[in-house]
């Protein structure tokens, strides 16, 4: 599951001084190579098995000490996971959040209005969102359930309208519905959603997993120990990392046994759900353990409370949610480094940029690679 870049080909790739000197003299040639490389980066494919794209010079940049010889092959040894039926651009995906709620902690009801939600969806697409996650129920700690009819009223018209957007129609971007209810998931699917994001992992509504299996769409199962109203009372662990892994494994087994297709199942550790800030940091420090689950992983820490606590002012007042975006972007880089399938965030462009940096580094061969 973990991605690595491998360089295959002549092993003395940094050792030719004459070639290096020539490269340093020829500024124009290097500029051209960089332009070419930028074009390659925009393509962004991870699977690289042919000769270097800068065949024009044969000298992709490899630091100040030398150049790759002509014919060197750069290969990503393992691939990032792909989820059937969803965009697969060859990097960590970015899922933009659209909370059609009056009370989400993270955006304070800014997109409760139908037109505002739609406008926001279009903005997220323009920023490069691969997935739009539309939700009608706040799951902030302490929140009460929203009425099922109200959840439908909030989400379905927004999903239906977004489904008409060119990026959705041509498959560049997909719609996800953030719901714990099978009935909402079904109507969202009929309106154009192709991913069900269920923070309860199938535990809130017994009809959810059979419904997701029947619809055949992608399904996110998050680690969850109970509804938001009292979930923080369940934040007790001996070892949060292995317990979250094992509880997710049991949820996944249940989903697969009920017919959810293995190539459509995504798991999520559920930062902030029945977890203290310290639990979140411990999970973040051991993301590799979650890969033992062998499934694509979703990373959703955007603007969460533990970041507000980290960034508290000198009087100890937590940084408000809208001031947590830079820290969120830092975590996106961390998630991308750890080969997460996708990050769920409130502002898309900074996360796309962070992923582009990690992706570029990943595909840069080092002197020791062979």
The burial of 18, by beta-carbon neighbours within 10 Å (0-12 exposed, 13-18 middle, 19 or more buried), is given as exposed
Backbone angles phi, psi at 135, to 5 degrees: -130, 150
Beta-bridge partner residues of 299:
343
In the annotation, is 275 catalytic?
no
Number of helical (H) and strand (E) elements in the chain, helices listed first: 13, 10
Q: Is 199 in the site for ligand PMM (CB under 6 A)?
A: yes
Question: Binding mask 153-192 vs ligand PMM (x if CB under 6 A, - otherwise)?
Answer: -------------------------x--------------
Does residue 139 touch ligand PMM according to CB under 6 A?
yes
Q: In the bound complex, what is the minimum distance in angstroms from residue 24's beta carbon to ligand PMM? A: 49
Binder of ligand PMM out of 1, 124, 162, 220 (CB under 6 A): 220
Nearer to ligand PMM, 59 or 120 (CB): 120
Q: Which of 186, 225, 344, 363 is catalytic?
A: 344
Q: What minimum distance in Å lies between the beta carbon of 199 and ligand PMM? A: 5
Active-site pick, 304, 324, 352, 363: 304
For the CA atoms of 216, 345, 229, 116, the dihedral, rounded to the nearest 10 degrees, stands at -90
The answer to whether 42 is a known catalytic residue is no
In the bound state with ligand PMM, the residue whose beta carbon lies nearer, of 84 and 322, is 322
The whole-angstrom separation of Cα 89 and Cα 82 is 9
**Binding piece for ligand PMM, criterion CB under 6 A, among 37-45, 145-153, 266-274, 325-333:** 266-274
Query: Which of 222, 262, 277 minimizes the C-alpha distance to 244?
Result: 222
Going by the DSSP 8-state scheme, the letter that residue 323 receives in this structure is: G
C-alpha–C-alpha distance, residues 132 and 143, integer Å: 23
* CB 353, CB 44: distance < 8 Å: no
Distance, in Å, from the CA atom of 194 to the CA atom of 216, rounded to the nearest integer, reads: 9
Q: Tell whether residue 197 is a contact of ligand PMM (CB under 6 A).
A: yes
Q: Return the residues of window 340-359 that contact ligand PMM according to CB under 6 A.
A: 344
Q: Minimum CB separation from ligand PMM for residue 140, in Å? A: 6
**Which among 201, 212, 162 is positioned nearest to 293, based on CA atoms?**
201
Question: Which residues are known catalytic residues?
Answer: 304, 344
Residues binding ligand PMM (CB under 6 A): 97, 99, 104-106, 135, 139, 178, 197, 199, 220, 222, 268, 270-271, 298, 300, 302, 344
């Amino acid at each position: 599951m973990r991605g690595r870049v491998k360089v295959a080909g002549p092993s003395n790739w940094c050792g030719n001084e004459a070639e290096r000197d020539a490269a340093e003299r020829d500024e124009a040639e290097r500029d051209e190579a960089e332009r070419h490389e930028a074009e390659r980066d925009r393509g962004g494919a991870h699977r690289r098995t042919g000769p270097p794209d800068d065949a024009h010079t044969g000298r992709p940049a490899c630091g100040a000490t030398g150049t790759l010889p002509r014919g060197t092959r750069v290969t990503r040894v393992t691939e990032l996971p792909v989820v059937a039926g969803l965009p697969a651009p060859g990097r960590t995906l970015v899922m933009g959040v659209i909370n059609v709620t009056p009370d989400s902690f993270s955006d304070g009801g800014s997109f409760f209005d139908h037109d505002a939600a739609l406008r926001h969806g279009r903005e997220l697409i323009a920023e490069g969102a691969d997935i739009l996650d539309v939700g009608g129920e706040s799951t902030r700690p302490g929140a009460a359930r929203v009425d099922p009819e109200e959840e439908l009223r909030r989400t379905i018209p927004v999903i239906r309208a977004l489904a008409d957007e060119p990026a959705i129609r041509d498959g560049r971007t997909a719609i996800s519905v953030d719901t714990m209810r099978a009935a909402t998931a079904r109507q969202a699917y009929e309106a154009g959603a192709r991913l069900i994001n269920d923070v309860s992992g199938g535990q809130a509504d017994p009809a959810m997993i059979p419904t997701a299996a029947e619809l055949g769409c992608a399904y996110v199962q998050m680690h969850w120990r109970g509804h938001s109203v009292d979930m923080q009372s369940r934040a007790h662990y001996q070892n949060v990392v292995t317990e979250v892994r094992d509880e997710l494994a049991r949820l996944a087994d249940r989903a697969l046994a009920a017919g959810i297709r293995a190539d459509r199942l995504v798991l999520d550790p559920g930062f902030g759900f029945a977890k203290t800030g310290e639990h979140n940091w411990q999970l973040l420090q051991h993301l590799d353990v979650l890969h033992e689950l062998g499934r694509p992983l979703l990373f959703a820490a955007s603007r969460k409370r533990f970041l507000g606590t980290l960034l508290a002012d000198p009087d100890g007042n937590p940084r408000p949610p809208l001031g947590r975006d830079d820290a969120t972007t830092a975590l996106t880089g961390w998630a991308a480094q750890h080969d997460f399938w996708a990050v769920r965030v409130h502002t898309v462009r900074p996360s796309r940029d962070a992923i582009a940096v990690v992706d570029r580094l990943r595909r840069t061969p080092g002197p020791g690679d062979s």
